[in-house]
Homo-oligomer: A and B are copies of this chain.
């Protein structure tokens, strides 16, 4: 499946400031960048950095006072791995790849150490495996209201567990938290996604099951195979699409995502009920 995507971010810079943006998509075996273009107006200098293990890409812009427009366009081909959910087992701690262990530990927005009681009560009796993470997503979908503006950048899963409202990032944090509290490695995925209305950056999560990271999205806002990865991290603190240092205001954000052909659409409808991985 191929997608065209673009984002345009417009900032007002009131004094020289620094912006760290994480808006370029990841380039790996499951997600190949066919074409890509990044334009800044004015053409100020910027640094690029690709995190070694996650391949998440950051740019740092040294912006002068005035307006700044950042425009990113890409065509990306996704190579999904599909599996039957009921064939995917949970992995014992002793058998997990060592590099996944870090995703068992609590993070800023995913205080899994404080949610052990909740997960034991709500999910402790369930069969282990992919279906347990599906049950977590169902719980979140059924019990948490998707409500724009209901949370802010300080809201963590510990809050959402009781306040029961949030946006995609909060849904992802809650899913990650519950997985970790059940000893299932889980991590945050920031993404472009086809089908969001209005278009916006999206967030979902991955849980390590079987022999790979499977995608989950408790919001049910888009099909799993229309998610194009930007960043991978412990939680949103790692992969904020924009971290602003200085007197900077975002004035406008426009996103666009579309499948390249009708064929893509058809493929999507064929995979209902399948587990999907892009790692």
Q: How far is the CB of A65 from chain B (nearest CB, A)?
A: 14
One of A111-119, A197-205, A208-216, A219-227 at the interface: A111-119
The interface size of chain A toward B, counting residues with CB under 8 Å, comes to: 54
Query: For the complex, is A69 an interface residue (Cβ under 8 Å from B)?
Result: no
- A165 at interface, CB cutoff 8 A: yes
In the bound complex, how far is the Cα of B153 from the Cα of A164, in angstroms?
A: 17
Copy count, this protein chain: 4
Shortest distance between the CB of A42 and any CB in chain B (Å)? 16
Q: A98-B47, A107-B108, A237-B106 are in contact. Are A18 and B117 (CB under 8 A)?
A: no
Asked if A93 and B18 make an inter-chain contact with CB atoms under 8 angstroms apart, the answer reads yes
Which one of A27-35, A154-162, A188-196, A266-274 is at the interface? A154-162
A116 to B164: give the CA distance in the assembly, Å: 8
Q: Are B118 and A162 in contact (CB under 8 A)?
A: yes
Q: Please, which residues of chain B bring their CB within 8 A of the CB of A117? A: 144-145, 162-165
